[in-house]
Chain A
Amino acid sequence: MPMRRVFPTICVLLAATGAIAAEPLLHRQIDRAVAKRAGGPLAGPASDAEFMRRVYLDLSGTIPTSAEARSFLADKNSAKRQKLVDRLLAGPNYARRMQEALSVMLLERRVGKNVSAKSWEKYLRNSFAKNKPWDRLAGEILSGEGRSEPSQPAIKFFVVGGRTDQHQMTRDVARLFLGMDVQCAQCHDHPSIDEYTQADYFGLLAYLTSSKVKKNPKTQLAYFVETPLAGPLDFASVFSPEDKRKTGPRLPGKKEIAVPTFEKGKEIDQPAKDGVPAVPKFRPRTLLSEQLTSAGNERFKRNSVNRFWYLMMGRGLVHPLDLMHKGNPPSHPKLLGQLADRFAKQKFDVKWLLREMALSETYQRSGLLPKGVRAEDAPAERYQAAIAKPLSAEQLTWSLLQATGNLDALMKAAEVKDSKFTFKDYINGRIPLPADIAETMLLMTSVFGNPPGEAEVDFAPAVGHSLYLLNEPLLQSWLKPKGGNLVDRLGKLKEPAKVAEELYLSVLTRLPNDEENTEVAEYLKRFEKRRSEAIGELAWALLASAEFRLNH
């Protein structure tokens, strides 16, 4: 059983250091706000094991190795949690984890050839490695034209498959950067949400309507460039088509930008040259990237912190994430405002924000409900206990490889050049098992990711996932003893208790309890004639358990 323990004194110490600053530490503010609205008892703090697994998954995208787990559990330093947070934020896997999480969030598993997945991933990874301020990163994604090298891949956001028309782009910019699902407002004011008006929709569309994908005929390089905008957009509600209206670019709740008129032929600032498209004088999308990401744009700030909060805590303060409006108020309105303001004040420092969240008691709370509290009496939005999050396809892949001890070998495997691997070919038996990490990831995301264009927010356990775990040969191959992998290591341990300890630490980042020790011993005894297979089955059972599948 996970141990109940008191919060380490680290929090107190931190609070003391924080007293120097004018403002209270953000993680204290978080905890105060959550405590205030808890409406019932709060769960105790997570055990070290629980915390470690959670923070590893959230900040490095994978579970720890058994060696890392052993050393953390043995560490007597009272500030070890904070140290771990800092180590993970500074570690090499942080940028990869953020790239994976943000790719899934922003692209929603859309793919496209205009910008390679590789270069987009590299761009995002570098951005997070350098801790690029979030407003700048968002601004680059929104304004990117693909002209200059470093941020060239940023245009992928707009040029992926399925986002090829400006209406879809408008909808996705509103959803992902402003927390507003304005789809209905395309044809008339949102029927059920007073705040999403058709004028808002067309105001946003006006920023994007003149942006087009162009290709350099010489280099085949894709651009996402602005072309001259003729004037404000006309629109009329389908309910009152006679009422014709116009709007220039305008952010919801902000002032409309006048569309300047130029003499014919004078709209261009720099003409097209060498296959590089022309630059018009008036570039509304550039304005969008500046205005939308400015500290004065409350919606952007709130949506940003809400999405990072969701990544860490498992549920947005506003949830669903893209329904930020009066009818769907935040669970903690004041806290949302504080997070937004402090994030902006901190110059949109993502690491700082995640660190503060990770240091909060709220984050470090156990997933076990307080004694005597029933699940239905502790709704998720009160954060009385930690909310279990599903592992993303990427987290699952890294964690399966890590747990089974096959990660190093696969990372060392030669990259398949010009891989032709597709999910369809694979499941139809036309091609062999994935040979490198990229092919492995492609297979895993095809099974565990949502179809393109569908946000991954809630846990959606599917029969297809279970069938995969039950029957996939690749997974079975990972459970055969090979060069120091988990099953190989366990096979060399004689004592059942040692097997159980290494197994549980490797897969579930915790020590087995007595019942589990007995279970392992009995299983090994029952199948002593086929011990190696039995060890594989024990490992499989842990890998296929809900405890492994969830980040709890």
Chain B
Amino acid sequence: MTHHYQCNGPDHTLSRRRMLGALAGGGVAASTLGIDGLLRPAVAEDMKSKQRQVLFIWLDGAMSQLESWDPKPHTEFGGPFRAIPTSVPGLRISELLPHTAKQMHRLSLVRNLHTVFEDHSRAVKPIQRGDPKNRGVTYPFLGSAVAKFLGPGESRLPPYLHIKPGSGGFHYQDAGFLGARYGAIALGDGKPPSHMTRPKSITDEADAARNALRQKLNQRFRKGRREAEIDAYDYSFSSAQQLMKRKDLFDPSKLTAKDQERYGTHQFGRHLLQARRLLEAGVTFVKVTMYYWDTHADNFNLHADLLAQFDRPFAAIMDDLSDAGMLEHTTVIVLSEFGRTPKISQKVGRDHFPEAWSMCMGGAGLAQGAVVGKTNAKGTWIEGEEYDIGHVFHTIFRAIGIDPAKTEYDNNGQPLPLANEDCGPIKELLV
């Protein structure tokens, strides 16, 4: 079994003392994720002022940069589609994203990603872990890391929820060395986990009384022991109870017809609308996965279909986050494991291409309407500076108020950088 302790600032002793203080003093489950006091005391104040949140959209299988963020119309590998103007003067993206085009003043593009992994099995996890240097430990996924840094916030809801097609569950593997409780609670098809309703035979009073007993037992038991497992277990109950209190978040009858029309009733539309509800409720990190982007055959027809499914709900959530003032504190990220080959295959597909691809991010903590880096006229190579996923992680962490230059993880006493130390933030995107 592994034992996981808290992430520390540059001053280990101080941080550790603070951490222990928090755990011993509070004792109850809420304090086990009371991280704001444990990490980088200097920023704690800023972070308290506004709960930071993240919307992370994972396009699994790899979206083609040429049919989206970095079109090369009417060139050797450009494909059939046009590029269209956007809300940012001079910036053009693929015609397959007409609604997103009107949101580009709230978003930025990175067009010079050069990563190393070229197949799914080796790319999906390392990309979401920021591809740190190998130190014999498993790094957390972005969502687990952010859950660790920011905690559940005032909502007390689980900080890392993952809306995905198919089945739900608990994806503790996402957490890596941070330990299971920072894993993702996966909501299969956006639906809540089972067992969300308490049997009628148990009254509120009885429920409170039995849980108070349970917590007392745990407090007694944890004294003098390694407490990580005990706290994680307790935390799983408090998360469960918080989720049960917010069953309304999953109630389809609370959706307006207008929202359903704007987001669409297709899978990704429903999932992104669910994501908005969770973000509104204060969930720290909401990941939404959309599959089936691996278009080795018939790339253009399939991308036309997939991007249409992505475009409208994505534009809708950007509008909604902006209208609600939430973009002030919500960072939005759209990412795949790599891009797709410029060269059009004999199956009219595009294959895997980590050499020169793009991503989109924006919202809180990031420049908006910016374009970082460029590829050559045919989209085959990057011209000028290149960024790896490590740079992206540095940038995201900075955007949510964590500076990897000043903070590190403490894995059982082993200090570990938050992000690949060969990389730094993408300066053009920092605000």
Contact = CB atoms under 8 A, between A and B. Distances in A.
Contact of B1 (A315, A327, A451): A315
Nearest to A508: B217
Contacts, number: 180
A499 interface: no
A462 B2 contact: no
Interface stretch (A82-90, A209-217, A540-548): A540-548
A388 interface: yes
B2 A380 contact: yes
Contacts of B224: 368-369
Interface in A285-319: 314-315, 319
Given A464-B194, A471-B195, A544 B232 contact: no
B158 interface: yes
Interface in B183-205: 183, 185, 193-199, 201-202
A545 B210 contact: no
Given A184-B122, A376-B16, A461 B229 contact: yes
From B122, B172, B229, residue with most partner A Cβ within 10 Å: B229
A468 B240 CA distance: 9
Interface in B173-232: 173, 180-181, 183, 185, 193-199, 201-202, 206-207, 209-211, 213-214, 216-218, 220-222, 224-230, 232
B221 A545 contact: yes
Contacts of B173: 454
B194 A537 contact: no
Contacts of A459: 1, 180, 229, 232-233
B292 interface: no
A367 interface: yes
A250 interface: no
B239 A546 contact: no
Given A376-B16, A463-B193, A463-B236, A476 B213 contact: no
A541 B210 CA distance: 6
A472 interface: yes
Given A368-B224, A380-B2, A461 B236 contact: yes
A427 B192 CA distance: 12
B231 to A, nearest CB: 9
A378 B413 CA distance: 11
A515 B158 CA distance: 32
B195 A328 contact: no
Contacts of A544: 210, 214, 237
A378 B226 contact: yes
B232 to A, nearest CB: 5
B134 interface: yes
Given A192-B134, A471-B197, A542-B217, A533 B180 contact: no
A451 B169 contact: yes
Contacts of A334: none
A538 interface: yes
Interface string A500-525: 00000000000000011001000100
B243 interface: yes
B412 interface: yes
B241 interface: yes
B235 interface: yes
Contacts of A461: 180-181, 229, 232-233, 235-236
B427 to A, nearest CB: 30
B196 A541 contact: no
A476 B211 CA distance: 15
A385 B195 CA distance: 36
Interface residues of A, number: 65
B250 interface: no
Given A375-B225, A379-B413, A545-B217, A470 B241 contact: yes
B198 A388 contact: no
A531 interface: no
Contact of B158 (A183, A463, A516): A463
Nearest to A541: B213
A526 interface: yes
Contacts of A546: 217-218, 221-222, 229-230, 233-234
Given A526-B209, A545-B214, A327 B136 contact: yes
Contact of A460 (B168, B180, B196, B202): B180
Interface in A451-467: 451, 454, 457-467
Given A459-B232, A460-B183, A541 B214 contact: yes
A467 B240 contact: yes
Contacts of B77: none
A470 B213 contact: no
Contact of A388 (B16, B229, B239): B229
Contact of B225 (A379, A388, A538): A388
B409 to A, nearest CB: 13
Contact of A467 (B3, B230, B244): B244
Contact of A476 (B169, B199, B216, B235): B199
Contacts of B122: 184
A549 interface: yes
B233 A549 contact: yes
A476 B201 contact: yes
Nearest to A549: B233
Given A460-B170, A460-B180, A544-B214, A375 B226 contact: yes
B412 A369 contact: no
B50 to A, nearest CB: 26
A24 interface: no
B172 to A, nearest CB: 4
Contacts of A549: 233
B5 interface: yes
A272 B2 CA distance: 51
Contacts of B193: 463-464, 467
B213 A458 contact: no
B221 A375 contact: no
Contacts of A519: 213, 216
A110 B235 CA distance: 29
Nearest to A192: B134
Nearest to A520: B213
Interface string B335-362: 0000000000000000000000000000
B194 A547 contact: no
A162 interface: no
Contacts of A533: 201, 206
Contacts of A427: 194-195
A125 interface: no
Nearest to B6: A376
Contacts of B2: 315, 319, 380, 458
B350 to A, nearest CB: 19
Nearest to B228: A375
Contacts of A315: 1-2
A403 to B, nearest CB: 14
B185 A463 contact: yes
A387 B220 CA distance: 18
Nearest to A374: B20
A540 B195 contact: no
A475 to B, nearest CB: 10
Contact of A314 (B1, B16, B220): B1
CB-based closest 8 A-B pairs: A462-B170, A541-B213, A467-B195, A466-B240, A537-B210, A545-B217, A460-B172, A192-B134
Given A191-B134, A451-B167, A460-B170, 10 more contacts: A183-B121, A375-B226, A376-B413, A464-B168, A465-B170, A471-B198, A544-B237, A545-B221, A546-B218, A547-B221
Interface of A: 183-184, 187, 191-192, 314-315, 319, 323, 327-328, 367-369, 374-376, 378-380, 385, 387-390, 427, 451, 454, 457-473, 476, 515-516, 519, 523, 526-527, 533, 537-538, 540-542, 544-547, 549-550, 552
14 contacts: A319-B2, A368-B224, A375-B3, A375-B226, A376-B5, A388-B1, A458-B172, A459-B180, A459-B229, A463-B193, A464-B170, A471-B198, A540-B214, A546-B233
